[in-house]
Amino acid sequence: MVQITRIVYDYVLPSDTEKILANTISPISYVITSLIIFWLLNYERRKGMFCSGLLFGFWLLVCLTIIPDVIDYSMDYHQGKKSIYVLREVIRVWLHAIFALGSFVTHCFAESYNFPALSADETPTVPELYRSFPSRITYWWVTPLIIRGYRKPLTEKDCWQLEISERAVNIVHRVQACFEGTASRAKSIAYEKTRNWNRNDTAERKKLENENQDLLKQLPSVEIKNPPARTRAPIIFWRALFRAYKGKLIAGGLMKVIHDVLQFSGPMILKQVLTFLTDPTAPGWLGLFYAALLGATVVCQTLFLQAYFHRQYVVG
């Protein structure tokens, strides 16, 4: 609503200020993005997702990118530029920041889920998919099991059951279906060419020749033909495995690539920190930025590496 009001105020109502194209593209982009976010919320709810990593990352980036605008317009307002335009922009960026922060906080929690009642011989299912996204990336959901193992030795009844999609029965059926699909595509049918038909070569003529043949002096010749070998492409088992786990394998590979890129960028950021320390004219906020960026890079390296190992260990 704030962005729609901004469009109406800047381009529908008459004003003396210069109309810039960026002032129209920016709120329109915000409105389109909001519509996509609302559609994604409805889509994930219909799919039964309890938390969204995509929306968590989106609102985190929105909160980080709105900070420079909040600081800039707030400093302009406090330095004496108390015009209607500056006041309106200050109100807009603060409302935007509050809304983005509230959305980010709400996406730090997962929707509640009532686990079904279990019998005496049943164990609960692993709660990973029912926890919030921060709990999943930091593996905070494993903490109760770790505390239980610290207090007493763990037994089979203390451990969780695997998710239904990761149990052996479903995995065997999934891999078998992918393997059968690979085998059916690998098979090919070999066709044998038929002899050209001759009109003089009739069935009666063949019958007469066979009756007049002297079997004692002229033995019939029997030609044994080897059946044509079927051309069959080799059935490779790893293709079926890849089709069954391609989502987790591709996601794990991307996480490993991101980890390697962040690991490579660490020394480059450290070089900028050393350059800042040797430059007495550099502003103080630049050093804080480099320090925060270096710390965030190390944290992201750890998160991506652990997520990579977790997915690969699930695949086995």
Do 129 and 162 touch, CB atoms closer than 8 A? Answer: no
- Give, for all 316 residues of the chain, the pLDDT tens digit: 555 555 555 555 445 455 566 566 777 777 788 888 888 888 877 777 777 788 888 888 888 888 888 888 888 777 766 677 778 778 888 888 888 888 888 888 877 766 666 666 677 778 887 888 888 888 888 888 889 888 988 888 888 888 877 788 888 888 888 777 655 554 433 333 334 444 454 555 555 455 555 555 555 555 555 555 555 555 567 777 888 888 888 888 899 999 999 988 888 999 988 888 888 888 888 888 898 999 999 999 999 999 899 888 888 7
Do 141 and 128 touch, CB atoms closer than 8 A? Answer: yes
Burial of 175 (C-beta count, 10 Å sphere; 0-12/13-18/19+): middle
Three-state secondary-structure class, residue 125: strand
pTM above 0.85, yes or no: no
Do 7 and 27 touch, CB atoms closer than 8 A? Answer: yes
